[in-house]
Amino acid sequence: MEYNFKDIEQKWQRYWKEHGSYKTGIRPDRPKYYVLDMFPYPSGAGLHVGHPLGYIASDIYSRYKRLKGFNVLHPMGYDAYGLPAEQYAIQTGQHPAITTEQNIRRYREQLDKIGFSFDWSREVRTSDPAYYKWTQWAFIQMFNSYYCHDRQQARPIAELVQRFEAQGSAGLNVACTEERSFSAAQWKAMTERERQETLMNYRIAYLADTMVNWCPQLGTVLANDEVVNGVSERGGYPVEQRKMRQWCLRVSAYAQRLLDGLETIDWTDSLKETQRNWIGRSEGAEMRFKIKGSDVEMNIFTTRADTLFGVTFMVLAPESDYVNALTTPEQRPAVQAYLEATKKRTERERQADKKVSGVFTGSYAINPLSGQEIPVWVSDYVLAGYGTGAIMAVPAHDSRDYAFARHFNLPIIPLIEGCDVSEESFDAKEGIMMNSGFLNGLTVPEAIRRAKEYVREQGIGHVKVNYRLRDAIFSRQRYWGEPFPVYYKDGMPYMLPEACLPVELPEVTKFQPTATGEPPLGHATRWAWNEKEQKIVDTSEIDHVNVFPLELNTMPGFAGSSAYYIRYMDPHNDRALVSREADEYWRNVDLYIGGTEHATGHLIYSRFWNKFLFDLGLVCEEEPFKKLINQGMIQGRSNFVYRINGTNTFVSLGLKDQYDTTPLHVDVNMVSNDVLDLDKFKAWRPEFANAEFLLEDGKYVCGWAVEKMSKSMFNVVNPDDIVERYGADTLRLYEMFLGPLEQSKPWDTNGIDGVHRFLKRLWGLFYDREGNLLVSDEPATAEELKSLHKTIKKVEYDIEHFSFNTSVSAFMICVNELSGLKCSKRAVLEPLIITLAPFAPHMAEELYHALGNETSVLDAAFPAYDEKYLVEATKKYPISFNGKVRFSLDFPAGWSKEEVEQAALTHEQTQKYLDGKAVKKVIVVPGKIVNIVL
């Protein structure tokens, strides 16, 4: 009987669905295990063959853990809000809700065909009001919290209010946008609006005028991780810096904890390193420089306090508040002109163009150590957003300062003995100090320490840790996102009552973004808040007494994805994000599989979000994802045909160098093992209908290249097509067989037949051609048991180490061996297919039932391998196929190599195994292992 994968897969998919086989609940009697995939954006293109890679791996692991007796949570959902879904909707001219719904349906169809063990009863969609109610709710909690550095946690804002009433800002050690100082009396004297403004400085979700990445083409601001090389990650549009009033999340308050937390989780070193870089901790000193003839003092941040004696000028960022204060009347026109010129340039231009530019402010700062007067300049090489937006320049030991000094002919004072600064600066933190007063003679690290102490003792400044990580900009001028639960009264934002959540996204007539930055929600007619009646009403009712405008921005894409893993634990709870019971049972994600592209976005925001909820006592684990694996990307493998220029003749790869040709992409679905299907090609496009071919060995061989998988390269392979042709089990096995999970690799169908053949051979052990079941109850031989237990051991080890490619190989070896032995015995096959069930669930289920089992293979127990069979079998069959024998031999330490060899040769073990064969070579190892090559 043929292996009919189509019938088998449909049959069992239906069975699992009807039996609710994948429904999970809290089971206190079993240990839990939470396996999570990064949920997909349902884009219009559907899934290609690369998407399921991680899903297959996590599915195998989930099924394995279940066989091992764990209660496994393995949910799936959709990240349906945010730019991608909306851009697609705009391109196709349809309402995002409709296209999103369609896309989700298509994704679901594709996912279902692959036979995943997702518990779909727990599905979440970020665009579902019942879901985003909790996104809005979390935002309200953040608005009502501040971050206390002393306690290292978020605290209710009400505590801060109490404190202000009692002692003002004295002794405050909390995260804030800017340092402020006021007394209790001053606080009490403030108006409501002033108090709100003051509190805004401390809230974890706050509204502020900040420099943002504004993208005119997308009509929205973007977070730092959404901007790559100065252009938008989506679409690649230019991004400019603008000052706008935006909602922000005070992620920076958590910088140190985000850094420390990395030590406690099992992620790859490279991913942790990426996050460390992104957080960018640097220890240094913040120092005050007095300005000659002015009361203004400028604060700067430096990691090289030791180089204070080499400061020959100061530089301000163009956006710095100091610029205005320090520009002298004579210099004002020049400075103005410079600021305008800088303003016009986009971020990309500023980055790409490394030409030195700048302007003198006219002011002089006073070096607190040497008392020297040093000029203050403005230049765009200094960033407004880092440190204080002002630096002390040490051209001898900083390459950027050096370039600036050279360009404007400013003095350069070397501070390290023997360094040569005639051509370039000496940036290394090594050597002995000179020209540096009390620091002379010290090594650089010593000098850094001494200088910091000195700065503190003299009250010139203080030691400070700076982070590169900035607060996340949380508003988007877009339609397709979560609305804020916010209304504006007297120009200040207020939260809607939690009881009124969710605030549903209103209908609008025009949802396209605008280039000027007015959010599409401005078109909404029913978008005002009646404070008295506690409900959303028509905008026409806005009267400044009871009815107020609602926030027009929406939340960014990462809002909905930041806590979805928590929601899966308790997805239908309408009274809490998650019940205490569910949270305490499921705790956090044990295994998270997803792409590395979220390293500085989602994976930072989620950790922040989770830590915030942890601080509030709402979740019991501080880190959301215990172990994380990044599956590699599947690239496309494009195929080419070679057209002889000026003709309609195509020449095969091996002959193309004899002609003058142009390569053309061909659809990879018309090519098999790099051989072109000529009929399909002729039918592909009208202009190829009369194409002629120059073949080699009767075949047209195509060229190939690895490229991104995309429609324009004609190299997109759909999982559905593979399932149609080979079945889901083959697809699953093949995707794993392709190579190590974490490695990026091109999709290459060339080897898929081998995997499919393996399944057919396994089938062949159960059924003969006529469809008779061959399986017998005969006892298994030692050799057969060896094969089985070897495989179980190997596969178990491999799954635990996420080495799925080698476990597939192990299965193939086993089936080859059993085929060779013509072994169709239940005692061997039943454990084998249970072991295989995580990989090829449909086949396993079918064969498990064929053996007469009534229950699902899902509820079987993963077989335990027995070392006994391996040992016994080894004794009986000690010589492996490559002719080596290994055993232990005790011998005195002082023996020479020759003596040991002699002993090994005459040893009874050797004699037993030799069996008349000649010994080629004896290899002796001090570890008492002897290898004998026959």
Partner RNA sequence: GCGUCUGUGGCGUAAUUGGUAGCCGCGCCAGACUUAGGAUCUGGUGCCGCGAGGCGUGGGGGUUCGAGUCCCCCCAGGCGCACCA
Q: Tell me if 709 contacts RNA by CB under 7 A.
A: no
Q: Which is nearer to RNA, 63 or 464 (by Cβ)? A: 464
Stretch that binds RNA, among 405-413, 524-532, 814-822, 863-871 (CB under 7 A): 814-822
d(CA 862, CA 844): 13
Q: Tell me if 812 contacts RNA by CB under 7 A.
A: yes
- What secondary structure does DSSP assign to 685-727, as a single string? -GGGTT-EEE-BTTB-BPEEEEE---GGGT----HHHHHHHH-
Half-sphere exposure of 81 (CA within 13 A, CB side): 27
Q: Tell me if 280 contacts RNA by CB under 7 A.
A: yes
Q: Which is nearer to RNA, 530 or 909 (by Cβ)? A: 909
Stretch that binds RNA, among 36-44, 250-258, 430-438, 733-741 (CB under 7 A): 733-741
Beta carbon of residue 842, minimum distance to RNA (angstroms, whole number): 19
Stretch that binds RNA, among 258-266, 412-420, 771-779, 805-813 (CB under 7 A): 805-813
* Alpha carbon distances (Å) from 26 to 23, 39, 592, 620, 773: 11, 22, 20, 16, 40
Decide: residue 324, CB within 10 A, 0-12 exposed, 13-18 middle, 19+ buried: exposed
d(CA 720, CA 731): 10
Per-residue x/- track, 755-784, RNA (CB under 7 A): x-xx-xx--x--------------------
Structure tokens at 351: 């980055």
Beta carbon of residue 874, minimum distance to RNA (angstroms, whole number): 10
Beta carbon of residue 795, minimum distance to RNA (angstroms, whole number): 12
Q: Tell me if 277 contacts RNA by CB under 7 A.
A: yes
Q: In the block, which residue shows the tokens 């030991």? A: 397
Closest CA to 559 of 601, 505, 511, 615: 601
Q: Which is nearer to RNA, 13 or 561 (by Cβ)? A: 561
Beta carbon of residue 737, minimum distance to RNA (angstroms, whole number): 7
Binding to RNA, residues 864-923 (CB under 7 A): 882, 884, 886, 923
The count of chain residues that interact with RNA, using the rule CB under 7 A, is: 79
Q: Tell me if 269 contacts RNA by CB under 7 A.
A: yes
The only residue of 20, 411, 445, 820 in contact with RNA, by rule CB under 7 A: 820
Q: Tell me if 750 contacts RNA by CB under 7 A.
A: yes
Beta carbon of residue 898, minimum distance to RNA (angstroms, whole number): 13
Alpha helices in 427-575 (DSSP H): 444-457, 557-561, 564-567
Binding to RNA, residues 174-233 (CB under 7 A): 225, 228
The only residue of 109, 192, 209, 353 in contact with RNA, by rule CB under 7 A: 353
The only residue of 120, 182, 237, 386 in contact with RNA, by rule CB under 7 A: 386
Q: Tell me if 754 contacts RNA by CB under 7 A.
A: yes
Q: Under DSSP, is residue 119 helix (H, G, I), strand (E, B) or coil?
A: coil
Q: Tell me if 54 contacts RNA by CB under 7 A.
A: no
Beta carbon of residue 926, minimum distance to RNA (angstroms, whole number): 5
Bridge partners of residue 696, in order along the sequence: 699
Q: Under DSSP, is residue 94 helix (H, G, I), strand (E, B) or coil?
A: coil
Q: Which is nearer to RNA, 162 or 277 (by Cβ)? A: 277
Q: Which is nearer to RNA, 242 or 760 (by Cβ)? A: 760
Closest CA to 627 of 742, 468, 736: 742
Q: Which is nearer to RNA, 304 or 611 (by Cβ)? A: 304
Q: Phi and psi of 534, rounded to 5°?
A: 60, 50
Q: Tell me if 303 contacts RNA by CB under 7 A.
A: yes
Alpha helices in 42-128 (DSSP H): 52-67, 83-92, 96-113
Q: Which is nearer to RNA, 641 or 860 (by Cβ)? A: 641
Beta carbon of residue 13, minimum distance to RNA (angstroms, whole number): 25
Q: Which is nearer to RNA, 125 or 250 (by Cβ)? A: 250
d(CA 255, CA 607): 11
Q: Tell me if 91 contacts RNA by CB under 7 A.
A: no
d(CA 586, CA 620): 10
Q: Under DSSP, is residue 364 helix (H, G, I), strand (E, B) or coil?
A: strand
d(CA 596, CA 915): 56
Q: Which runs of E-coded beta strand occur in 139-230?
A: 145-148, 153-156, 205-215, 220-222, 227-228
Instruction: Give me the numbers of helices (H) and strands (E) for the chain, helices first please.
Output: 30, 35
Stretch that binds RNA, among 100-108, 154-162, 386-394, 773-781 (CB under 7 A): 386-394
Stretch that binds RNA, among 100-108, 526-534, 662-670, 739-747 (CB under 7 A): 739-747
Amino acid identity, position 189:
A
Q: Tell me if 317 contacts RNA by CB under 7 A.
A: yes
Binding to RNA, residues 242-261 (CB under 7 A): none
With left for phi above 0 and alpha for psi between -120 and 50, is residue 547 left, alpha or beta? beta
DSSP state of 316: E
Pairing of strands 675-676, 671-672: antiparallel
Bridge partners of residue 35, in order along the sequence: 591
Amino acid identity, position 586:
W
Binding to RNA, residues 387-426 (CB under 7 A): 387, 389, 391-392, 394, 398, 400
Closest CA to 539 of 550, 571, 531: 550
* Alpha carbon distances (Å) from 762 to 57, 114, 820, 833: 22, 20, 12, 9
Per-residue x/- track, 600-629, RNA (CB under 7 A): x-----------------------------
Q: Tell me if 745 contacts RNA by CB under 7 A.
A: yes
In contact, 57 and 802? CB cutoff 8 Å:
yes
Alpha carbon 756 to its chain centroid, in Å, reads 33
Beta carbon of residue 357, minimum distance to RNA (angstroms, whole number): 8
Radius of gyration of the chain (CA): 34
The only residue of 813, 821, 851, 870 in contact with RNA, by rule CB under 7 A: 813
The only residue of 90, 161, 383, 889 in contact with RNA, by rule CB under 7 A: 383
In contact, 676 and 702? CB cutoff 8 Å:
yes
Q: Tell me if 466 contacts RNA by CB under 7 A.
A: yes
Binding to RNA, residues 563-602 (CB under 7 A): 596-597, 599-600
Amino acid identity, position 255:
A
Beta carbon of residue 612, minimum distance to RNA (angstroms, whole number): 23
Q: Phi and psi of 526, rounded to 5°?
A: -100, 80
Q: In the block, which residue shows the tokens 């369609």? A: 102
Q: Tell me if 382 contacts RNA by CB under 7 A.
A: yes
Pairing of strands 634-644, 745-746: parallel
Q: Tell me if 805 contacts RNA by CB under 7 A.
A: yes
Beta carbon of residue 398, minimum distance to RNA (angstroms, whole number): 6
Q: Which is nearer to RNA, 627 or 884 (by Cβ)? A: 884
d(CA 418, CA 899): 61
The only residue of 344, 354, 572, 575 in contact with RNA, by rule CB under 7 A: 354
d(CA 362, CA 376): 7
Binding to RNA, residues 660-699 (CB under 7 A): 672-673, 677
Helix axes 804-821, 782-800, angle to 10 degrees: 170
The only residue of 321, 753, 866, 872 in contact with RNA, by rule CB under 7 A: 753
Binding to RNA, residues 14-53 (CB under 7 A): none
The only residue of 619, 738, 762, 829 in contact with RNA, by rule CB under 7 A: 738
Beta carbon of residue 201, minimum distance to RNA (angstroms, whole number): 22
Q: Which is nearer to RNA, 284 or 519 (by Cβ)? A: 284
The only residue of 21, 186, 201, 282 in contact with RNA, by rule CB under 7 A: 282
Q: Tell me if 302 contacts RNA by CB under 7 A.
A: yes
Stretch that binds RNA, among 38-46, 582-590, 781-789, 815-823 (CB under 7 A): 815-823
Beta carbon of residue 646, minimum distance to RNA (angstroms, whole number): 30
